[in-house]
């Protein structure tokens, strides 16, 4: 047992959600007769869910800050129709269309962030209004018609890494990407051991990082093989490259920047955070605006993959994004959550949905099962809090990626003095 804890960096919950995802994949691989882990299915699964995963990256910050955003699907649809019409009617080039879409998202986010941060209206109400406003605006601007987008624009949602390279039968750039990821895993683990040695922290035995690296690299290389051996013309999706860049960037923001730490502080205890010098209004404004920017990006990726913008784009996207974040370990009360956890939670929902479709389960039953999964995940979190135990779902991805909130002191007046820029989360939970 001690060896197992060392393998998981002393925290058996660290890779809990990843284990759950792995078990789910293996289960559907068996039940579907090997249809889950095929190149075509994995590429389609990733392409069909990349925009939801992008939404989850933004939604986790909103939920950590203690809010909820119900408007992301409508914002995505509205941004998509504006970009599609601008390219069709104004002759806007594809790259200018992307910039326009991001600016539309920023403007909408600033509008909603103003009402939440500076007027004080709950985000639930503001974004519920936004959901209605921008859904109607999408249909009004586009006159409820489908608007096609040019082939150059379609590349961001339906494109793949190009072919070429010395190894025939494989997409060489995809293989290179997999090797780079493995090298990053090895470098990160070695860097961690070196940092611990400098700080005087006892490192686990050498076999522990070796096993960890071996398992992670095995998964990465197998996924690389699946993406690199798809049908001709396909490989790792461009939308996956965009998602990967966002995960790295927002993981850095949440873990290494003052703004990221302030988001956790505001979500943990807004009043205590403001007494500590955190500008709560600015933080709330930023997370709402950031969410709408990512919603606009997700909308454009979906339109690019669909080759056209339509009046029913974005329907129920907000529910999928929220479910991904909560299943990925975010706390209902705010202050807890990780970018990586939200991605894993989104993949759990994607694999569940995909596996049920491969089994021929109807949309009605699939929807009920997904709803039960979300309910059970949150119920388990709430139950453990009422029993005085740490939140299990909140800790499933704790320490993974390093972006966890600081432990809460017992009381405000007992809180030690913290240096400037240190993440401070003071929780009133029992």
Quickly list DSSP for 269-283: -HHHHHHTT--HHHH
Per-residue pLDDT, averaged over 59-71, amounts to: 94
Whether the Cβ atoms of residue 278 and residue 262 lie closer than 8 Å to each other? yes
Distances (CA, A) of 112 to 56, 71, 122: 18, 10, 10
Q: What percent of the chain has pLDDT over 90?
A: 59
Whether the Cβ atoms of residue 89 and residue 257 lie closer than 8 Å to each other? no
pLDDT of residue 426: 40
pLDDT of residue 385: 63
Which residue bears the tokens 């990221």? 260
Whether the Cβ atoms of residue 399 and residue 14 lie closer than 8 Å to each other? yes
Q: Indicate if the pLDDT at residue 338 is higher than 70.
A: yes
Bridge partners for 160 per DSSP: 237
Q: Indicate if the pLDDT at residue 401 is higher than 70.
A: no
Whether the Cβ atoms of residue 50 and residue 301 lie closer than 8 Å to each other? yes
Q: Tokens at residue 202, please?
A: 């006892």
Q: Indicate if the pLDDT at residue 101 is higher than 60.
A: yes
**Weakest-pLDDT range from 46-50, 294-298, 304-308, 381-385:** 381-385
Q: Indicate if the pLDDT at residue 396 is higher than 60.
A: no
pLDDT of residue 16: 63
Bridge partners for 309 per DSSP: 147
pLDDT higher at 262 or 429: 262
pLDDT in tens, 218-235: 999 999 999 999 888 889
**Neighbour-count burial of 409, counting CB atoms closer than 10 A to its CB (0-12 exposed, 13-18 middle, 19+ buried):** middle
397 backbone dihedrals φ, ψ, rounded to 5°: -110, 20
Whether the Cβ atoms of residue 253 and residue 260 lie closer than 8 Å to each other? yes
Q: What's the whole-model pTM score?
A: 0.85
Q: What percent of the chain has pLDDT over 70?
A: 84
Q: Indicate if the pLDDT at residue 76 is higher than 60.
A: yes
Q: Tokens at residue 128, please?
A: 């519920």
pLDDT higher at 209 or 116: 116
Bridge partners for 109 per DSSP: none
Confidence grade of residue 427 (pLDDT, cut at 50, 70, 90): very low
Compute the mean pLDDT over every residue in the chain, rounded to the nearest whole number. Answer: 84
pLDDT of residue 430: 33
Q: Indicate if the pLDDT at residue 88 is higher than 90.
A: yes
**Side-chain-side CA neighbours of residue 321 (13 Å):** 32
pLDDT of residue 356: 92
Q: Tokens at residue 295, please?
A: 């919603």
Q: Tokens at residue 338, please?
A: 């990780």
């Amino acid at each position: 047992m001690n060896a197992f804890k060392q393998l998981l960096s002393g925290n058996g919950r660290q890779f809990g959600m990843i284990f759950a995802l792995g078990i789910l994949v293996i289960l559907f691989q068996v039940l579907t007769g090997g249809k889950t882990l095929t190149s075509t299915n994995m590429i389609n699964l990733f392409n069909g869910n990349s925009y939801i995963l992008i939404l989850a990256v933004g939604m986790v910050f909103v939920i950590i800050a203690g809010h909820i955003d119900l408007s992301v699907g409508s914002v995505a649809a509205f941004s998509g129709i504006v970009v599609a019409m601008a390219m069709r009617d104004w002759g806007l080039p594809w790259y200018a269309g992307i910039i326009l879409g991001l600016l539309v998202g920023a403007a909408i986010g600033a509008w909603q962030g103003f009402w939440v941060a500076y007027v004080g209206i709950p985000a639930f109400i503001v974004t519920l209004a936004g959901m209605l406003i921008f859904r109607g605006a999408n249909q009004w601007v586009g006159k409820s018609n489908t608007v096609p987008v040019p082939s150059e624009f379609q590349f961001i949602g339906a494109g793949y890494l190009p072919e070429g390279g010395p190894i025939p039968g494989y997409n060489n750039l995809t293989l290179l990407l997999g090797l780079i990821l493995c090298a990053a895993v090895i470098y990160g683990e070695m860097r961690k051991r070196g940092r611990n040695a400098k700080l005087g922290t006892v490192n686990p035995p050498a076999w522990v990082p070796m096993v960890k690296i071996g398992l992670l690299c095995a998964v990465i290389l197998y996924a690389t093989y699946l993406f690199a051996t798809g049908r001709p013309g396909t490989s790792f999706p461009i939308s996956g490259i965009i998602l990967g860049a966002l995960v790295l960037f927002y993981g850095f923001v949440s873990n290494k920047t003052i703004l990221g730490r302030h988001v956790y502080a505001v979500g943990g205890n807004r009043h205590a955070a403001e007494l500590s010098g955190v500008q709560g209004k600015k933080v709330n404004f930023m997370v709402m605006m950031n969410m709408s920017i990512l919603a606009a990006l997700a909308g454009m990726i979906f339109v690019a993959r669909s080759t056209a913008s339509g009046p029913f784009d974005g329907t129920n996207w907000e529910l999928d994004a929220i479910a991904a974040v909560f299943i990925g370990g975010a706390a209902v009360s705010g202050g807890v959550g990780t970018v990586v956890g939200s991605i894993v939670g989104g993949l759990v929902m994607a694999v569940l949905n995909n596996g049920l479709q491969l089994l021929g389960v109807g949309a009605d039953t699939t929807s009920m099962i997904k709803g039960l999964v979300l309910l059970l995940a949150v119920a388990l979190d709430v139950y453990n809090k009422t029993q005085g135990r740490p939140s299990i779902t909140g800790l499933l991805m704790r320490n993974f990626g390093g972006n966890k909130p600081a432990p809460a002191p017992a009381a405000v007046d007992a809180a030690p003095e913290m240096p400037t820029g240190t993440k401070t989360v003071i929780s009133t939970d029992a």
